[in-house]
């Protein structure tokens, strides 16, 4: 985080927004554990931490993509790191150009059933 805040590329940024998963180290307290209070406060002044929902984690999107890249790029032997990098670069450029996305099959009706316990109970009198 310190490297990010102090990097010349972000020197003029008023705010740096970080999208984090819910790992226990992704919290302001971790900066206070790693740095003096003044330094932790300075870093946090420039950072905005945004957390992914626990039930909609970025991992839910990353895992299928990793599976696809593995199947499509590494079905056969790779001779070198450079070849692996070239395959991945060609793959993600084609994937991005085709605007390939994830087709979520979790419908609103499914959510109402699965997340029923989270909905408020309304009693009519």
pLDDT tens-digit series, residues 3-60: 999 999 988 899 999 888 766 777 888 999 999 999 999 999 999 988 777 666 666 7
Domain ranges of the chain: 2-53, 59-97
Whole-prediction pTM: 0.46
pLDDT at 19: 82
Q: At what angle do helices 59-73 and 81-97 cross, to 10 degrees?
A: 120
């Amino acid at each position: 985080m310190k490297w990010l805040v102090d990097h010349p590329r972000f020197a003029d940024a008023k705010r740096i927004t970080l999208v984090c998963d819910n790992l226990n180290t992704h919290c302001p307290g971790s900066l206070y554990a790693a740095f003096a209070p003044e330094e932790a406060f300075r870093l946090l002044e420039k950072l905005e931490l945004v957390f992914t929902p626990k039930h909609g984690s970025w991992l839910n999107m990353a895992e299928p993509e990793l599976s696809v890249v593995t199947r499509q790029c590494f079905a056969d032997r790779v001779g070198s790191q450079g070849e692996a990098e070239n395959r991945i670069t060609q793959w993600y450029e084609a994937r991005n150009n085709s605007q390939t996305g994830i087709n979520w099959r979790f419908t609103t009706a499914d959510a109402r059933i699965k997340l029923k316990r989270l909905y408020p109970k309304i009693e009519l009198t």
